[in-house]
Each structure stands twice: as structure tokens, then as C-alpha cells.
Amino acid sequence: MIKLFDNWVVDVDQNNYTLARITGTKTLKAKDGKEIETEEKKVYGYFPDLSGALKALSKELARARHMDGVNSLQEALTAISESDARVENLIEEAVNG
């Protein structure tokens, strides 16, 4: 699992990259009767590469801002710009340490 920020993660398997947000935890019972804590996640999409997952993250961040009461085109475009910048900063911090 690649941890991003604010409970956003990218899960990786042999088929794809899965953009998800951790929403909580749940307890499962194993076959041996022991309880196992696991994270609950809301999946936002499946992508063939990490780049696609990060682009989708930027779109989800902007969409969330739009749903929070954006009233003008200027506000909508600002939300998109800020979301793109947040993801770009995340990448830059990861590359530059």
C-alpha cells in the first residue's frame, strides 16, 4: 500500500493500482476464531499505472471541492488548480525526499 495523505492510499497488485480512501476499521473473524482488525476503504478506481491513480486523485479532490458549494466558474477552476498543485507537491516531495 502506498500512503498518500488524508487517508488516501494506492493499493498495488499484479493487475492494477487501486485509488482508495480509508474510511475506518472493521473486525473480522479468522477461520481459527481469532479476530483480525482490517481497514475499510472506499475505492475510487482501478488504473494500469500509478500516474493514472494520481491524476484520478487530483480529480477527486477537485470534485469534492465543487460539491462543497462552488458557485462560479472561477471558483471551480481555482479548485482544479489547487487540487493539481497538491498532487504535484506530493510527487515533488516524494522525488526530492
In terms of residue numbers, what domain contains 57? 2-96
Render pLDDT for 37-64 as a digit per residue (tens, 0 to 9): 989 999 999 999 999 999 999 999 999 9
Q: Give CA–CA dist 33/41, Å, rounded.
A: 24
- Name the pLDDT band for 97 (thresholds 50, 70, 90): confident
pLDDT at 29: 85
Structural domain total, the chain: 1
Q: What is the mean pLDDT of residues 12-36?
A: 92
